[in-house]
Structure 1
Amino acid sequence: MNTGTRRMTTTIEVLTLAQLLSPSFPVGAFAYSNGLEAAIAEGRVTTAEQVQDWLEGILMHGSGKADAVLLNVAYRAQVVEVSEIDASARAFAASKERLLETDLQGAAFCETVAQVWGLSIERLTYPVALGRAARLLGLDAELTTAMYLQAFAGNLCAAAMRLVPLGQVDGQEVQLALKPICLEVAEQVKTAELDDLFSCAFASDISAMRHETQYSRVFRT
């Protein structure tokens, strides 16, 4: 079979990524809603269809797409370039809570991969840290990106299940519908550079800012 220039993915790569991106991996992803909690509390996201639309926007035009770009840039970078990429990731965070989310999850990720795999990775924002770990572990960048985006969407679906509330079947149907988008974005960012960073999911960014002053909260962001 002719596979062209595409590298064959091994089963161990898939299993390693499943572990790195599992809800059991101690980055505390369950504690963050990326601003979705504020959107739900304000009545702007109240149905499964609205949850799907909201997440599509984030994955294609917002923080999900930006994370995918950062992951791939970090994956291809030389060691001396990583600190600049991480600084860009921090500067690009749209709000205090977005910065908190990527910083704390990234720190926990770096600490865990250092202890489990012996990887020497400085404290980095989450997508940058994942990109570096994937490179050091020899994992496929496109697969890493697609699975990261699926995990990202899955975590937000779990938040919606608790807050809308969204039924479990509805939550799974939303995630199924988002899989093609995860694959599409992973394909788009394979050769991305820092100059490709952008976000125009303004409603999501504003919700993340408004969440900072929300009176009653379940999630940290």
Structure 2
Amino acid sequence: MSSTLITITTTRTPMSDFTSLLASFQHSDSFFPSGSMAFSWGLEALLQDGLVKDARSLQVFVEGQALARWASLDQGIVCAAWQADSFDAWLDVDALAETVTLPEPMRKGAHRLGRTLADVHARLDSSVAAELRAAIIAGRTPGHLSAVQGRLWRSFGISRDEARAMSAHAACTGAVSSAVRLGIVGHLDAQRILTRLREPLASVLEAPAPAMDDLWSSTFAADIAVMRRHRHEARLFAN
């Protein structure tokens, strides 16, 4: 009588992978006090001008923000900031973010959110965030949101690709949540828009992020709307 020895092999995910995943959930959650709820990135003005007024036009707006700005510009900054091997190298990335963000309200909004994010994490005892905050307060660097995100998220053990996905998620959820607050759509339509964007964004994430010399954006309607914000007397958002 012969016996057969059966070996069962199990594949286990390293604990560090779970830690990184949980960290990405925490820092991309709208519950995290990042200050992003104060900005609509031009959506409020587009609503008041009658250019974004329903789920269909909102879909066009969010697609533009995701595929003609985030994919071609912001994700490149996030990745370059994540990869920066020194604080001086990160300063160069932040300076480039300032250069390629043309509308003044967009720059100021990115400064405010970057500083807020650094301040929150400094209060949560992050030494990297404290260094960023000190440099921003001293006027050494503007502290753009995407650059701050990349450096901070790496310090929390979040992988570069997870950081890219977090950045994409934050850009899209920020847009649709602003639309819900403005009454353009309800929560269900907002979720439908996010679902439709999942595959296009996944395709973007499968390719390498753009290099620093290849950054571009073409969200002209939103940029113009942001710059015209002072023409509207009643405003819910800072830009």
1:106 aligns with 114
Q: Secondary structure of the equivalent of 2:176?
A: helix
Does the alignment pair 1:143 with 2:162? yes
1:86 paired residue among 71, 88, 94: 94
Take 1:210 and 1:189, find their aligned partners in 2: how far apart are those partners?
35
Does the alignment pair 1:14 with 2:21? yes
Does the alignment pair 1:160 with 2:168? no
Q: After alignment, is 98-107 or 115-124 more displaced?
A: 115-124
Q: 1:9 to 1:157 in 2, by over 3 A?
A: farther
TM superposition outliers: structure 1 runs of 4+ over 6 Å:
none
1:217 aligns with 235
| CA radius of gyration, larger in | 2
Q: 1:218 to 1:64 in 2, by over 3 A?
A: farther
Q: Contact between 1:150 and 1:179, CA under 8 Å: does it hold in 2?
A: no
1:27 aligns with 34
2:123 aligns with 115
2:219 aligns with 201
Extract unaligned runs of 5+ from structure 1. 2-6
Extract unaligned runs of 5+ from structure 2. 1-8, 137-142
Q: Contact between 2:78 and 2:164, CA under 8 Å: does it hold in 1?
A: yes
Alpha-carbon RMSD across the aligned residues, in angstroms, is 2.1
TM-score between the two structures when normalised by the length of structure 1? 0.88
1:41 paired residue among 26, 44, 48: 48
Does the alignment pair 1:129 with 2:148? yes
* Alpha-carbon shift at residue 66 of structure 1 (Å): 1.4
Letter in 1 for 2:117: F
* Alpha-carbon shift at residue 8 of structure 1 (Å): 10
1:161-180 matched pairs, under 5 angstroms: 161-180=180-199
1:4 aligns with none
1:47-66 matched pairs, under 5 angstroms: 47-63=54-70, 65-66=72-73
Take 2:61 and 2:225, find their aligned partners in 1: how far apart are those partners?
11
Q: 1:148 to 1:90 in 2, by over 3 A?
A: same
Q: Secondary structure of the equivalent of 1:62?
A: helix
TM-score between the two structures when normalised by the length of structure 2? 0.82
Q: Contact between 1:56 and 1:181, CA under 8 Å: does it hold in 2?
A: no
Take 1:107 and 1:189, find their aligned partners in 2: how far apart are those partners?
28
Letter in 1 for 2:147: V
* Alpha-carbon shift at residue 9 of structure 1 (Å): 7.7
Letter in 1 for 2:37: F
* Alpha-carbon shift at residue 98 of structure 1 (Å): 0.6
2:140 aligns with none
Provide Cα deviations, 1:20-60, integer angstroms capped at 9, x if missing partner.
12222222111100111111111111111211111111111
Provide Cα deviations, 1:48-81, integer angstroms capped at 9, x if missing partner.
1211111111111125641111001111122121
